[in-house]
Amino acid sequence: MGVPAFFRWLSQKYPKIISPVLETLPLEIDGQLIPVDTTEPNPNGEELDNLYLDMNGIVHPCSHPEDRPAPETEEEMMLEVFRYTERVVAMVRPRKVLMMAVDGVAPRAKMNQQRSRRFRSAQEAKDKEEEMEEFVKMLASKGTEIDSTLQKKGWDSNAITPGTPFMDILSIALKYWVSYKLNTDAAWAKLKIIISDSSVPGEGEHKIMEFVRSQRSDPEHDPNTRHVIYGLDADLIMLGLATHEPHFRVLREDVFAQDSRPRVCKICNQKGHRAEECTGKAKEKTGAFDEKSAPNTRKPFIWLDVGILREYLEVELRVPGLSFQWDLERAIDDWVFLCFFVGNDFLPHFPSLEIRDAGIETLATIWKENLGAMKGFVTTDGVVNLERAQYILDGLAKQEDAIFRKRRQVEERREENAKRRKLQQGNNGDSKDGTKLPTHRGKNERVPTAHPANIPLFAPNDTSVETKKLNHDVVVNRAQIRTANYANKSAAAALKAQLLQNTLSTATTEPSTAAGDSKPNPDQSVLGKRKLEIMEEGSGAQTPDTQTPDTEAVDENTDTVKLWEPGYRDRYYEQKFNCPPSDTDFRKGVANAYVEGLCWVLLYYFQGCPSWTWYYPYHYAPFAQDFENIGDLKITFTLGKPFKPFEQLMGVLPAASKHNIPDAFWPLMTEEDSEIIDFYPETFPLDLNGKKFAWQGVAILPFIDEARLLNAMNKIYPKISDAEKARNEMGSELLLFSESHPLYDELATQFFSKRAIEGDFQLDPRVSEGLSGSVRKDPNFIPHSGLSFPFSNMSSDLYGDIDDDQSMSVVYLLPEKKNLHKSMLLRGVVLKEPALTTADKQFLANRKQGNGRTYGGGYLDRSNSNRGGYGRHNYNPIAPPSGVRGPSLPAGYTLPDSGAPSGNHQNFKGHQGWGQNWSGGNHNFDFKYNNQGGYQQRRDHGNSPHGGSNYQSYGNQGHRTYNGDGTYDRGYDDRRSGYGGGDGYRGDNSNRRSSYERRDDRGGYSQNQYNNNNPYDRRPPQQDRRNQGYQGQGQGQGSSVSTCI
């Protein structure tokens, strides 16, 4: 799933979920490689049952690796796939099932993303070819000849798409390799292998999940089955959680270890030199297929333990004191649903949500603080409760403005720092007057600087009268000097910032600097990274306006929407959707389509594909503020049927990759009079959408009209060959096992004896060792026939022909789906010993206080909404007035000089009301200015059961104010920075509001853990982090903040 940075974020937030894979390496004795004996116990300390391979995660790095030259032929790629797969199987050592799933035809919703990737891949390949041509010309001008192998056109990775000849070769190769292993490897004797190739519809990982759900629904399923899934996509983690199988691991390469891998030349893909140093020579092979060359450094693998992640989520998500029963399985489902908002392969993510900006923490906090009000979980077995989802969207809507402003502030600071570094590097440490500027040299190394011109220097041992007098004045007047220095600190800081800004602006406006404003020469364009051109519009209604040659050039990184400035929503819809600001119905339509998408994705993850034809028809997501009354929507899906392989190829491939499609279809992609030529633009706009890098941008491509596409293709189908027609048919999954497995004798009797049956045979899990489903005869399998190496144009020392094949292949069918996949642990499951200690849980509990509340207002509903009977808090943004570092009154309010308020409250100078009158137990917030330079806030509890009012103090002194009822209010040491919409709802020394109190029957205050015995309190469970604790009965050490209900 397209969730950038999700895995890194998750592993850093929950470190114990990651552990290294212990791997036994093959031995080399006298030049002979001795393979690993996988019949021995697993070195990782636990025997694992089922291994699932998302084969696309293996095929891609083997066919076009990033750290070494790519294999020259597709047959060599297959050998690389064999080696890689064997290594993964050897480190996991599954004892029951090995499933190898290749991506088949995807749902229509995924094809939009596939189309974008493949068009961009073709564009990048074209750019690389142009760079290579320039490089060859450059070498030719220097009299150097480039190796012909490097001039050969690169392999088209778009061939890794169902229906291409390459995928047909892959299917044949995998069947051979599995059969070969079943005949030659003793560790495979009891193993059942399921191959789901590209002819079987569905994405690889989702075909795996469909298998897991089908086995789980069988009464004979072992709830303590140990699962491992290998793949590179982040959505495998969410899919693992969605199975509700607690013994689940994700296996993948250690991406952190690859951060320090050696770089390779962009021209020849070899290590040891940079592109500008390349001589144009290809790598010299040792052996016919380079099989004798030194192997690349093995990349380490890591486990991600989903069971430990469940432990973390149990601590993070638990909300005590609910009016309904807490259910971890349902909470995990809701968390998975929230993760869809920050990115997936089917919907664009919200503009306000980024993982790096605590997007998931923000959503989780909103969820926790609204869970009591929602009176239930948001999802149920993959179905979204839209009325409850509205709470989440409302909470996010309250924060969007602050999120955009905060993001802009961070970007500006980053840009200023980058400019400063660039200026220092450009000047090489020299100022304009020739003096050396200070540069950072090390942690403990002093930086020599020139002394200021207006301060005299004194020679050593100088005992003159002037020197003595100066020293005497410094000592005598040291108090005044210290005061003056302290008073000038802020002025000096302001002056320094102004001077720095002037320096940076001067540097950036000069026409030529050492930082590099000069035009690059042609050679540099070969070695540097090319910019993707923004082409003219013309690719659909959702295409943003782009410049024409007659208009003034604009930097492609310029963000014209400016989300941090007022009116951004109008600009966003006008520029991204070509929608006028007055068309609110269009915005509502976009939001409703996005809601449909959220419902589709959740069903897809928990129950399987709900519709093969549904897709989100826009390139951009709406804002959270655009979702209104989604509970009134009635969402239904029609299942439909998947595309055929050639139809998907025509839907996702650009014309540059037409060689992967039967040539009868080429005119549809290339000829100007083609009825669907508009589906295949040669150039397309790339909207960076406020990002910095091309890969983060949005490719603006026209959406495929299914009816037009199929109508055009139906006219061509009669022209294709029989072999091509066979490649366009849907296939079935195969089950393979060796003669040593109990299934062999039973199925040989059923399918290859005199009593052979026709049709399907139901598997007995007791004979198949836990495998449920049914099988039928494979028409391509003959018992004890020969097994031939599939590549006649090459040979291998590791693989060859087998005269007597002692394995069997049958068509495998999943068990019939009778019930929905339930979000629950199965009866009989035995959980492992907890990995989290009490200290780990305490650390999490302390860290989560205020977590995700960076922008404040997380659990606030729309001010015009009237849900529920309990009401909500109405925190208002307040900024400090002149001379006061606490909260202030809003614009237009004044402070009277005198006049004491009524009641028993003392030490006040004035009173000014502030807030809204809401019904249902909501609060009016009044602020009173006291005589110690701070404010107190009155809280009227309206119709709440506790009623009454009290005051909360703010100000410069951390003072206490008597409330007249035996208690005090204590100031917050000037660290309260604001309410919702600002920097969050923060407390005193810990800078976070970490718990609340409510008044007891004795007139004192006791700590209230939010929801304990208080069904109306909807704040999240957090712990007390204030140093002084809470005390009542007039002792004056605890805060008198009351529980708002």
Average pLDDT, the chain: 75
Pair 88, 40 in one domain? yes
- What domain count does the chain have? 2
Q: What is the pLDDT of residue 803?
A: 92
- Whole-number Å distance between alpha carbons of 971 and 965: 18
More confidently predicted of 156 and 483: 156
Q: Is the pLDDT of residue 912 over 90?
A: no
**Residues facing 436 on adjacent strands:** 430
Pair 789, 933 in one domain? no
Q: Which of 118-127, 207-216, 656-665, 848-857 has the lowest mean pLDDT?
A: 848-857
Residue 597 located in a structural domain:
no
Pair 822, 895 in one domain? no
Mean local confidence (pLDDT), 895-919: 37
Q: Which residue has the tokens 């403990």?
A: 444
Of 774, 799, 829, the domain-final residue: 829
**Residues facing 33 on adjacent strands:** 28
Cα angle: 347, vertex 351, 354; to 5 degrees: 90
Q: Is the pLDDT of residue 140 over 80?
A: no
Q: What is the pLDDT of residue 282?
A: 59
Mean local confidence (pLDDT), 969-995: 35
Q: Where are the alpha helices (DSSP H) in 427-449?
A: none
Residue pair 884/929 in contact (Cβ under 8 Å)? The answer is no
- Whole-number Å distance between alpha carbons of 678 and 657: 16
Residue 276 located in a structural domain:
no
Residue pair 885/902 in contact (Cβ under 8 Å)? The answer is no
Of 410, 403, 455, 550, the closest CA to residue 984 belongs to 403
What distance lies between CA 17 and its chain's CA centroid?
17
Mean local confidence (pLDDT), 631-639: 95
Q: What is the pLDDT of residue 3?
A: 66
User: Measuring CA to CA, how many Å separate 855 from each of 316, 358, 403, 794, 933?
Assistant: 19, 10, 6, 62, 27
Pair 891, 810 in one domain? no
Residue 560 located in a structural domain:
no
Q: Is the pLDDT of residue 1014 over 50?
A: no
Q: How many CB atoms lie within 10 A of CB 711?
A: 12
Residue pair 990/848 in contact (Cβ under 8 Å)? The answer is no
Q: What is the pLDDT of residue 295?
A: 52
Residue 485 located in a structural domain:
no
Cα angle: 690, vertex 691, 697; to 5 degrees: 100
User: Percent of the chain beyond pLDDT 90?
Assistant: 49
Residue 533 located in a structural domain:
no
CATH of the domain at 230: 3.40.50.12390
Q: What is the pLDDT of residue 962?
A: 39
Residue 565 located in a structural domain:
no
Q: What is the pLDDT of residue 663?
A: 95
Per-residue model confidence as pLDDT tens digits over 536-583: 333 333 433 333 333 333 455 678 899 999 999 999 999 999 999 899
Per-residue model confidence as pLDDT tens digits over 28-77: 887 777 888 999 999 999 999 999 999 999 999 998 887 677 888 899 99
Q: What is the pLDDT of residue 526?
A: 35
Q: What is the pLDDT of residue 812?
A: 97
Of 813, 829, 845, the domain-final residue: 829
Residue 882 located in a structural domain:
yes
Per-residue model confidence as pLDDT tens digits over 685-716: 888 887 877 778 888 999 999 999 999 999 99
Q: Is the pLDDT of residue 961 over 90?
A: no
Pair 8, 95 in one domain? yes
Residue 58 located in a structural domain:
yes
Pair 882, 1031 in one domain? yes
Pair 761, 879 in one domain? no
Mean local confidence (pLDDT), 383-401: 96
Q: What residue numbers bound the domain in which 756 lies?
A: 1-105+164-261+297-318+739-829
Pair 5, 54 in one domain? yes
Of 812, 829, 846, the domain-final residue: 829
What is the helix, strand, coil percentage profile of the chain, to 5? 35, 10, 55
Mean local confidence (pLDDT), 927-945: 40
Mean local confidence (pLDDT), 380-388: 96
User: Percent of the chain beyond pLDDT 70?
Assistant: 64
Pair 9, 93 in one domain? yes
Whole-model pTM: value is 0.72
Residues sharing a CB contact under 8 Å with residue 157, sequence separation 6 or more, in sequence order? 60, 63, 64, 121
Q: Is the pLDDT of residue 869 over 90?
A: no
Pair 915, 815 in one domain? no
Phi, psi of 588 (to 5 degrees): -65, -35
Pair 874, 818 in one domain? no
Residue pair 619/78 in contact (Cβ under 8 Å)? The answer is no
Per-residue model confidence as pLDDT tens digits over 575-594: 999 999 899 999 999 999 99
Residues sharing a CB contact under 8 Å with residue 587, sequence separation 6 or more, in sequence order? 573, 579, 622, 626
- Whole-number Å distance between alpha carbons of 785 and 179: 12
Q: What is the pLDDT of residue 390?
A: 97
Pair 805, 895 in one domain? no
Token pair in block for residue 807: 């394995």
Residue type, 161: T
Per-residue confidence at 817, pLDDT binned at 50, 70, 90?
confident
